[in-house]
Structure 1
Amino acid sequence: MLRNGLVAAVAAVAVFPVTAVASTAQAAHTPGSHHAAHHVVHHVRGRVTTHHTRLLVRSGPGTAYRIVGSRRDGRPVVISCKKRGSAVRGNHRWYRLAHHRGYVSAHYVRTGGAVRWC
């Protein structure tokens, strides 16, 4: 009985593959749906370039936010996205560190690729 049901299901998908895919995709993007859409997170690697000083990590994208840590010159950082914030030497971009570790001024970080907006 189980085998017959499995064969029938495979046959239905083979006959109507577009309908099966379309309904699955629509369910994943319907607001309030119980199907969670999977988001792929692309982190970008960067390197601190402060020239002999520490880069301050802030709780938000700006110099008015509290300091939550620091990174040494030459150290790698993993960036999840960028935001506009207060200017640091004319640069308004701030990088959000991966895993919610804070923000650093983009003026002092060199990246190995494009960083998406938050």
Structure 2
Amino acid sequence: MIRRALKSVLPAAAAVLALLPVTAGAAAASTVAARPVAAVAAPQHPVRSHPYRTGRVTTRGIRLNVRSGPGTGYRVVGSRHTGRLVSVSCKTYGSRVYGNHIWYRLSQRRGYVSAHYVTTRGYVPWC
């Protein structure tokens, strides 16, 4: 009796299990295809963790050194002229320049400048 029940139930159960993944895959494919393309597309502009601030160089006629790190001991990697606008991403502590130990990191990680020589508008976040 048990053998006869197993012989009739097992093929039916195998047929049901064989159909389940096919119908589940078809249902998932229909929901993906129904989704609009704009929702799947990646954003065109990269997301920044914080907005950049602009500051103006105030060096009284001499060029401002851009350094590889927040201090006068780091090598010079560039310079900015007086009156130029610089894009600043954040501020950090470094070596003191005329009593000011805050340094600004330029946007796109181009280097650091002393906050003593740059005036900014608004709040600049910490690195």
Q: Please give the range of the TM-score, normalised by the shorter of the 2 chains.
A: 0.5 to 0.7
Write 1 or 2 for the structure with the bigger share of helix.
2
Q: Of 56, 61, 70, which residue of structure 2 is paired with 1:52?
A: 61
**1:64-83 pair list within 5 angstroms:** 64-83=73-92
**1:22-61 pair list within 5 angstroms:** 39-61=48-70
What residue ranges of structure 1 are gaps of 5+ in the alignment? 7-37
1:40-81: per-residue Cα shift (whole Å, max 9, x none)?
321110000000000000000000000000000000000000
SS of the aligned residue for 2:125 comes to coil
Aligned positions, number: 87
TM-score normalised to the size of structure 2?
A: 0.63
Q: Give the AA of the match of 1:87.
A: R
Q: Percent identity?
A: 59
Query: Which structure would you say has the larger Rg?
Result: 2
Q: Give the AA of the match of 2:51.
A: H
Q: Of 51, 59, 62, which residue of structure 1 is paired with 2:71?
A: 62
TM-score normalised to the size of structure 1?
A: 0.68
What residue ranges of structure 2 are gaps of 5+ in the alignment? 1-25, 32-46
In the alignment, the residues of structure 1 paired with residue 96 and residue 80 of structure 2 have an alpha-carbon distance, to the nearest angstrom, of 19
Superposed CA RMSD in Å reads: 2.0
